[in-house]
């Protein structure tokens, strides 16, 4: 077995995105993490929150949030499932079992590079280490990053680590320190039986780390639904600025979809405000996808004219219904590729203009002319027409026929052409018609479609 541990020391800070404000995370009234701008003011981890405020009055201080950090770890774990099927979640990091993936990714170096690049694109920085045991890798990632330990040299790598990496209670650490045990090497040097008797827990952890006993854990499994709720560093009231946090959420969503071999057709994004009710943006697509670039292009158009009543404090993305993904491989046949391009274009148009402003035309089998043509949402398969009228039909049909009175007169007298076409139908639903249709020429030489019924003459369409 081979384990790759990923430790995210700045996760709480990176969760808030890349920020151009003086930002720090506090935990129990003490600074826990600070960004580079805060460090320029001399705000470093360990100092009291009040002290930090004294150094910089416009400091943005966020309370350390265990829940959102755990959620973020789960989302990263979702994404990491594309590298291996076994992912374990630790306190502030992940451990990946990679022995099964080495061949596919052509070697450890390549695999590691892939993972690092991927996480960096999502905006997370991490320290990594590789070791033949879960705990070994995890400890090395925290205290001695970038180590690649083999079974033979694992002990020598672990020996120099301080006992604090063992994640013990403060009293246990103190008692180890009192006994003069500062490093793992010193603990290991003690006779096994004596260590087991005095520090049972420590002895157990060390045996697990050395691979002497099995470390059995339950691997992380991707949940049924995707849910992410991320806080923003400060209240954002510029729509375009929301694209940065959304970019990461969408990338994580797409990674989740890729792992589960699903695609998405509809999802909701909710923006939470301090003083107003949350606002909701619902994105629905013509065709299911899992391409983050396409989703972001649509979101950008939607956000352009999306009204936010107040600054946004946090964003939630929820996706519950998925579709089975078709193969999204590059197609050999340009036809299919072109159809996909068209779908994407129509989605972009819908996102900007609105759904009801992008339409297709469909023939309906009805003898009443005004009912024979309907507008439908695009890309709904239309049936092949079985029957078309023999007489020519006008290219433009008025939604409401213009009454002309008792005379065929419009912009001057109309000259009737040809023989009339009688349409008498619709008696079954109360909208029965009984009309005589003519093609007619206006004095300007244009052709119109008119009819006569009991009420008089009407203009219904233009031949173009």
- Among the listed residues 40, 237, 341, 432, the single contact to other proteins using CB under 8 A: 341
β strands within 98-155, DSSP E: 127-131
The least CB distance from residue 363 to other proteins, in Å, is 4
Residue 14's Cβ-side half-sphere holds a number of Cα atoms within 13 Å equal to 17
Among the listed ranges 49-57, 121-129, 271-279, 376-384, the one in contact with other proteins (CB under 8 A) is 376-384
Select 179 or 345, whichever has its Cβ closest to other proteins: 345
Q: Which two tokens stand for residue 435?
A: 């009309």
Q: Measured from the CB atom, is 175 or 342 closer to other proteins?
A: 342
Considering only residues 76-115, where is the footprint of other proteins by CB under 8 A?
Answer: none
Which of 338, 406, 424, 432 forms a contact with other proteins (CB under 8 A)?
338
What letters, b where the CB count within 10 A reaches 16 and e where it falls short, cover 228-264? bebbbbeebeebeebeebbbbbbbbbbbbbbbbebbb
Among 196, 262, 316, 362, binds other proteins (CB under 8 A): 362
Residues 111/101, Cβ–Cβ less than 8 Å: yes
State the minimum distance, in angstroms, from the CB of residue 302 to other proteins.
Answer: 14
Task: Identify residues 402-441 at the interface with other proteins (CB under 8 A).
Answer: none
Least distance (Å) between residue 402 CB and other proteins: 12
C-alpha radius of gyration, the chain, whole number: 34
CA atoms of 13 and 234, how far apart (whole Å)? 13
Q: Which of 150, 214, 359, 431 binds other proteins (CB under 8 A)?
A: 359
Stretch touching other proteins by CB under 8 A, among 171-179, 191-199, 251-259, 445-453: 445-453
* 285 φ/ψ angles, rounded to the nearest 5 degrees: -115, 160
Which segment (168-176, 244-252, 283-291, 363-371) binds other proteins by CB under 8 A? 363-371
Give the chain's end-to-end CA distance (angstroms, integer).
75
Site for other proteins in 110-129 (CB under 8 A): none
Which one of residues 104, 117, 395, 427 is an interface residue with other proteins (CB under 8 A)?
395
Which residue from 381, 412, 430, 454 is in contact with other proteins, where contact means CB under 8 A?
381
Distances (CA, A) of 324 to 112, 223, 446: 30, 16, 53
Whose Cβ is closer to other proteins: residue 46's or residue 412's? 412
Decide: is 368 part of the binding site for other proteins (CB under 8 A): no
Q: Which of 179, 189, 261, 353 binds other proteins (CB under 8 A)?
A: 353
DSSP three-state, residue 38: helix
Rounded to a whole number of angstroms, the minimum distance from the CB of residue 356 to other proteins is: 8
Instruction: State yes or no: residue 342 binds other proteins (CB under 8 A).
Output: yes
Q: Least CB distance from residue 441 to other proteins, whole Å?
A: 9
Does position 389 bind other proteins by CB under 8 A?
yes
CA dist., res. 367 & res. 423, Å (int): 7
Closest distance to other proteins from the beta carbon of 307 (Å): 15
CA distance 31 to 48: 6
Give the Cβ contact number of residue 186 at 10 Å: 14
| 349 lines the binding site for other proteins (CB under 8 A) | yes
Contacts of 28 (CB under 8 A, 6+ apart): none
What's the rounded Cα separation, in Å, for the pair 93 and 255? 18
Of 193-201, 229-237, 392-400, 428-436, the window that binds other proteins (rule: CB under 8 A) is 392-400
What CA–CA distances, in Å, run from 456 to 223, 334, 409?
67, 54, 11
Q: Give yes or no for a contact between 30 and 7, defined as CB atoms under 8 angstroms apart.
A: no
Site residues, other proteins (CB under 8 A) = 335, 338, 341-342, 345-346, 348-349, 352-354, 357-364, 369, 372-375, 378, 381-382, 385, 388-389, 392-399, 442, 444-448, 461-464
């Amino acid at each position: 077995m081979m384990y790759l541990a990923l430790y995210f020391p700045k996760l709480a800070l990176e969760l808030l995105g890349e920020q151009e404000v003086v930002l720090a995370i506090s935990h129990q009234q003490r600074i826990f993490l600070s960004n580079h701008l805060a460090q320029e003011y001399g705000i470093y981890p360990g100092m009291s929150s009040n002290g930090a405020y004294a150094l910089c009055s416009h400091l943005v201080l966020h309370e350390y949030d265990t829940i959102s950090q755990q959620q973020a770890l789960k989302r990263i774990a979702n994404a990491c499932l594309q590298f291996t099927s076994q992912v374990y979640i630790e306190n502030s990091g992940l451990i990946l079992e990679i022995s099964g993936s080495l061949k596919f990714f052509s070697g450890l170096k390549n695999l590691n590079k892939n993972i690092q690049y991927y996480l960096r694109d999502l905006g997370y920085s991490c320290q990594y280490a590789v070791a033949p045991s879960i705990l070994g890798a995890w400890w090395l990632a925290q205290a001695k990053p970038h180590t690649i330990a083999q079974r033979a040299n694992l002990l020598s790598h672990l020996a120099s680590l301080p006992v604090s990496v063992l994640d013990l209670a403060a009293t246990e650490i103190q008692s180890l320190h009192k006994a003069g045990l500062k490093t793992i090497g010193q603990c290991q040097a003690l006779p096994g039986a004596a260590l087991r008797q005095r520090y049972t827990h420590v002895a157990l952890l060390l045996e697990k780390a050395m691979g002497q006993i099995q470390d059995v854990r339950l691997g992380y499994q991707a949940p049924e639904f995707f849910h992410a709720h991320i806080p923003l560093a400060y209240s954002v009231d510029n729509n375009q600025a929301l694209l940065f946090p959304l970019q990461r959420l969408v990338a994580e969503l797409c990674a989740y979809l890729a792992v589960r071999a699903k695609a998405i057709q509809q999802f909701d994004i909710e923006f939470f405000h301090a003083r107003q009710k949350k606002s909701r943006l619902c994105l629905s697509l013509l065709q299911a996808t899992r391409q983050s670039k396409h989703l972001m292009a649509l979101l950008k158009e939607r956000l352009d004219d999306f009204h936010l009543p107040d600054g946004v404090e946090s964003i939630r993305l929820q996706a519950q219904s998925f579709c089975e993904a078709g193969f999204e491989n590059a197609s050999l046949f340009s036809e299919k590729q072109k159809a996909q391009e068209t779908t994407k274009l129509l989605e972009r148009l819908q996102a900007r203009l609105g759904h009801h402003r992008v339409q297709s035309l469909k023939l309906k089998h009805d003898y009443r002319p005004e009912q024979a043509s309907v507008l439908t949402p695009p890309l709904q398969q239309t049936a092949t027409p079985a029957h078309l009228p023999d007489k020519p039909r006008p290219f433009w049909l008025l939604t409401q026929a213009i009454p002309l009175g008792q005379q065929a007169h419009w912009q001057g007298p109309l000259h009737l052409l040809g023989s009339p076409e009688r349409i008498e139908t619709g008696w079954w639903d109360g909208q029965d018609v009984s009309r005589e249709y003519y093609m007619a020429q206006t004095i300007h030489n244009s052709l119109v479609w008119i009819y006569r019924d009991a009420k008089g003459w009407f203009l219904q369409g233009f031949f173009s």
